[in-house]
Structure 1
């Protein structure tokens, strides 16, 4: 039985003989390959096409991966089934023989003993037959890959692989069809000497394996670039709204048509945006990270949102070709985001409004609003963060004008998704645990609580830290500190208590209590303080602005004289112990019932 392998040396005469036989059948086999399946296969195999996704009929909307290594199991089952259905009978009828190849192959004794082939799940017919082939004749599929690669550049084969088509999809299908037909005919020639064990499904599987590396290395015809651009423009719709995480390198992320050549960026004009020859660069606080960016491509921009953003700058740039993307990379919920899906794919003048927040600390994020407009001078709509002042060479704003800076660390890490901080003046952590209704006898690892939370069990727990002047109770993903009954218990007999709570749904509550009475409790975004104590406390704070969580922490610390730092929270998390909170008994209130039984 012949033993094949990629190291088997084939002379030029043998390769020429194989090429002559393959060339005679290639076009006939190519006509049998379904264009939709060829297009889908091409979008997997070609690295330059990996930006597009499969048609939904093949992957339910999944994204193309350019990491396809030729494994048949990695292909959409419908593509494999379509190809096998179209090729199974014709391949079985192919009667191809190259005597020179058979003579050149090394001879070996037939294998004795047994071959064990194990499967997980239910493999397709192609996978099953290909695995059987490789089990009985190790290296057979590798030999097919080796010969296909050699023939792809053969003078008699190359003219038969020229793709054509009236649009981008047709060119992709035509290009892939030629190379797949080459692989199918070659696999038939190379594997047929193994008859009767070599079946048409095994031949198709070996061809699919062999065509992957060839497709990755080939270049598309010259007409493809123009066809791809035409398709991109035909499919590009506005308005377009995209939320991504843009990659930051050297404090910058870039929206441009080509990768940025580092150095020479000047942000001194506006402190936020630098205009490039084909896009814009945005200056960030973090040196290397991913930052959330909301992109809105519109016909006409709305008014800037001064309440949400700290820096807002508008600039113009000229697009030589169009289709600017995040040059350093960007990710959405579905993985890598193609650059072509960002800016409009037409040349011309564009305007972009860049809004930023969190560059001085906290949750750093950006918004880009893009529209077509004649070139115009930059406009700075708002300048308020300290980084912008430094980049523009302006005096930094006094720290006392931004008191929430000290607590913006609550806008980062795990605290972003929700927490409750309760500041208690003059009480020890043990007293606070008692007033919370916590079970002091049951210290529990925080991981246990998080596991229960992941399972959907809503258990309350609290961590308490003694700090100068009192204690601070921290509830990760909790809320009990803002409950009125808890506030009354904590503030009795004559204690000041303040609580700041927020959750992942952007709900917030700031509360004050003293001497067993709740003085105020309101949602900063939609309500306002009603008590004179809260009004005075918040008079110089932007409690309806961007950093409401940090502002609430500042106000709570002011009211109680108690404070907590990011390092304190890190210590609590390092210890990793919390206490389960038992619901407090409901307060008894006098009830006056009418004769009819109703309650007054």
Structure 2
């Protein structure tokens, strides 16, 4: 085992310590891992044994990382162990309130982040993958025309039947939509990302504004903005590109998009700031209540992956 190249500084607390193992094969709870030749029913026989230290005693370094311990999210921990001589403790990062409290230090001021109201999506049916688009200043007829939709919509059961009968090498995008307030439509794609296409988003924005965000099972994300028929920007939100227009750059203030945590919630918040309307649970419920899915074309899955990444597919 080797030392990690660098701590994962997106986490809240990171410390490096020395540890002497009196014997090998240590686990976090002190119990041996299941026999890989006779795993329990829930565990794949090919699952890596990454939660056990090497099978010999000796001196090690341990990089211990913790995240989301302040009670408003699911906690996450990581321990990386590698052989190394004993050395002083190194504190790489300490920022959460719990850590300060346990150390007897004054707790830092950590105000509620501006994207907190969109974190619901992380524990919803949208958590794995999805594309959310909000369009303003339009009517249903204009919206459907911009999407190029001509066949009538189908209900969920018919959509599943078509999926089951379709070659899985072909990705069929489906869009469900609802007018969430007057002149404002929310669109949901669970298995595609057509609205991330700047040309399409520009058509959708012909009478107002349109913004879209998508995320995939491969952790790909994209934010796209258009206004009055003009595409402004479409980018992977790991950093703000130099070409970012000032009106879009201002929307990202305080979202800390370089931090990969809560990227879905941050994307939805950027959409909200641009269009004036986000995507709340009530909006998703309104979209689902229409029980109508529009088929908006199909293309080879390999081409879709080459262009902007793959949302699934989930057929």
State the TM-score, normalizing by the size of structure 1.
0.41
| Greater share of residues in strand | 2
Tell me by how many angstroms 1:543 deviates.
1.7
> Structure 1 CA distance, aligned partners of 2:23 and 2:81?
16
User: 8 Å contact 2:213–2:221 — kept in the other structure?
Assistant: yes
Query: Residue 174 of structure 2 aligns with which residue?
Result: 461
Change (3 A) 1:357 1:448: farther
Q: Secondary structure at the match of 1:569?
A: helix
Query: Residue 131 of structure 2 aligns with which residue?
Result: 420
Q: 1:578 aligns with which of 287, 290, 293?
A: 293
Q: Secondary structure at the match of 1:367?
A: strand
Q: 2:23 aligns with which of 321, 346, 359?
A: 321
Tell me by how many angstroms 1:453 deviates.
6.9
Q: 2:147 aligns with which of 436, 440, 447?
A: 436
Matches within 5 A, 1:117-516: 239=1, 298=2, 300-306=3-9, 308-327=10-29, 333-334=44-45, 342-357=52-67, 365-373=76-84, 379-385=90-96, 394-399=107-112, 402-412=113-123, 414-428=125-139, 431-439=142-150, 441-445=152-156, 446-448=159-161, 450-451=163-164, 455-468=168-181, 470-493=184-207, 495-516=208-229
CA RMSD, 1 decimal:
3.5
Query: Residue 71 of structure 1 aligns with which residue?
Result: none
Deviations 1:408-431 (A, max 9, x none): 343445534421111112435565
Change (3 A) 1:460 1:323: same
Query: Residue 234 of structure 2 aligns with which residue?
Result: 521
> Structure 2 CA distance, aligned partners of 1:561 and 1:386?
33
Q: Secondary structure at the match of 1:403?
A: coil
Q: 1:544 aligns with which of 254, 258, 262?
A: 258
Structure with higher RCO (Cα < 8 A, 6+ apart) = 2
State the TM-score, normalizing by the size of structure 2.
0.73
User: 8 Å contact 2:153–2:292 — kept in the other structure?
Assistant: no
Deviations 1:464-510 (A, max 9, x none): 133246221111121111112321221112x0111112222333221
Q: Give the greater-gyration-radius structure (CA).
A: 1
Deviations 1:153-200 (A, max 9, x none): xxxxxxxxxxxxxxxxxxxxxxxxxxxxxxxxxxxxxxxxxxxxxxxx
> Structure 2 CA distance, aligned partners of 1:571 and 1:336?
40
Deviations 1:130-158 (A, max 9, x none): xxxxxxxxxxxxxxxxxxxxxxxxxxxxx
Q: Secondary structure at the match of 2:110?
A: coil
Query: Residue 308 of structure 2 aligns with which residue?
Result: none
Change (3 A) 1:577 1:453: farther
Change (3 A) 1:532 1:354: same
Larger CA deviation: 354-363 vs 557-566: 354-363
User: 8 Å contact 2:206–2:228 — kept in the other structure?
Assistant: yes
Tell me by how many angstroms 1:387 deviates.
5.9
Structure 2: segments with no counterpart, 5+ residues: 35-41, 299-315
Deviations 1:408-459 (A, max 9, x none): 3434455344211111124355653443233472233153465367833311
Change (3 A) 1:522 1:440: same
Structure 1: segments with no counterpart, 5+ residues: 1-238, 240-297, 584-600
> Structure 2 CA distance, aligned partners of 1:577 and 1:365?
38
Q: When the two structures are aligned, how many residues end up with a matched partner?
A: 281
